[in-house]
Structure 1
Amino acid sequence: MKAANPLSDALHVMAHLVGQAEPRTSEQLAQCLPTHPVVIRRLLGQLQKGGLVHSVRGHGGGSQLARNAADITLHDIYIAIGAPALVQAGARDATRGCPIKQLVDQALDDGARQAQRLLEQRLQGITLDRLGAEFADHLQQHTPHGGSHAG
């Protein structure tokens, strides 16, 4: 079973909202991932609290970007969903166990912290409109005869 990746899911949802004139429902977005609409609603709630989407409930409702895609970085999305660890290494308690295990865990944890900082810097430099443009280019290259894409 695939492990949950909230950042990947949030980026996927946000990419599907770029350039949309009409709101998209959690059911529509769930088909794109694919996942359950409840998972999408949870993500959309976090993104709305972060000021990145605007959601309306009920018939005719759905979610849209709350800001211009050029003004939203992937780091903004990362922060909105609670800044989950991007890199995990080492043990739960690096102070226990034999001295060699402690050194190995410390080395892994140091590397994980450096990788985390690097990934966060990268996320700060990429805007949602850039991701959306890359998504559109990818679709154009991989969809025969300009067909539609579900995910």
Structure 2
Amino acid sequence: MKSADPLSDALHVMAHLVGQEGPRTSEQLATCLPTHPVVIRRLLAQMHKAGLVRSTRGHGGGSQLARDAAQISLHDIYLAVGAPPLVQFGQRDNGGGCPIQQLVNQALQDGAREAQRLLEARLQASTLDQLGADFARHLAHHRSLEGPHES
């Protein structure tokens, strides 16, 4: 299974590692996404190469954050997955030399560059611990809406 959005997948997996006492296996993380554990292992290999996670083999092994989540920006994760373009769109081929098409393409390219800069700045300003805290608040809110559970 190939993901259409490796950044989203990486952020999702990394958020599941925030606040974990011990390592999580690729099988455990795959149930969260959901995807195949091989996809998770490939993603974790990218995070490991970037120094964002450390892995332990064998019984009781798995992956965990290599440093405090407050020291990992979402931009670090973006770079670890290869810095894919955050804004993508198709352009009509300019081979015909139509001046209108040239202007359309230029407007789209200019907008995409500006959006890319803004998104990267936002990723640089956000940390993994903030994402984890947002998740914890979201989870607590939804659990409070469920009310008490009967045994």
Partner residue, 2:137: 137
Q: d(CA) in 1 for partners of 2:3 and 2:17? A: 24
**Where do 5+ consecutive residues of structure 1 fail to align?**
none
**SS of equivalent to 1:54:** strand
- The equivalences for 1:2-151 within 5 A come to 4-91=4-91, 95-97=94-96, 98-143=98-143, 144-145=146-147
Q: d(CA) in 1 for partners of 2:9 and 2:113? A: 23
Q: d(CA) in 1 for partners of 2:54 and 2:5? A: 22
**SS of equivalent to 2:23:** coil
The one-letter code matched in structure 2 to 1:44 is L
Task: State the 1:145 CA deviation.
Answer: 4.9
**SS of equivalent to 2:43:** helix
Superposition CA RMSD, Å: 1.9
The one-letter code matched in structure 2 to 1:96 is G
The one-letter code matched in structure 2 to 1:91 is Q
Q: d(CA) in 2 for partners of 1:61 and 1:145? A: 36
Structure with the greater alpha carbon radius of gyration: 2
The one-letter code matched in structure 2 to 1:11 is L
The one-letter code matched in structure 2 to 1:4 is A
Work out the number of aligned pairs and report it: 145
Task: State the 1:57 CA deviation.
Answer: 2.5
Aligned-residue identity in percent: 74
Q: 2:26, 2:37 within 8 Å by CA — same for their partners in 1?
A: yes
**Where do 5+ consecutive residues of structure 2 fail to align?**
none
Task: State the 1:101 CA deviation.
Answer: 1.6
Q: Deviations over 1:10-57 (max 9, x none)?
A: 001011000101100111101001111111111100000000000123
Q: Deviations over 1:44-93 (max 9, x none)?
A: 00000000000123322100000100100000110111101100134275
Q: 1:90, 1:109 within 8 Å by CA — same for their partners in 2?
A: no
The one-letter code matched in structure 1 to 2:117 is R
**SS of equivalent to 2:63:** strand
Q: d(CA) in 2 for partners of 1:68 and 1:92? A: 45
The one-letter code matched in structure 2 to 1:59 is H
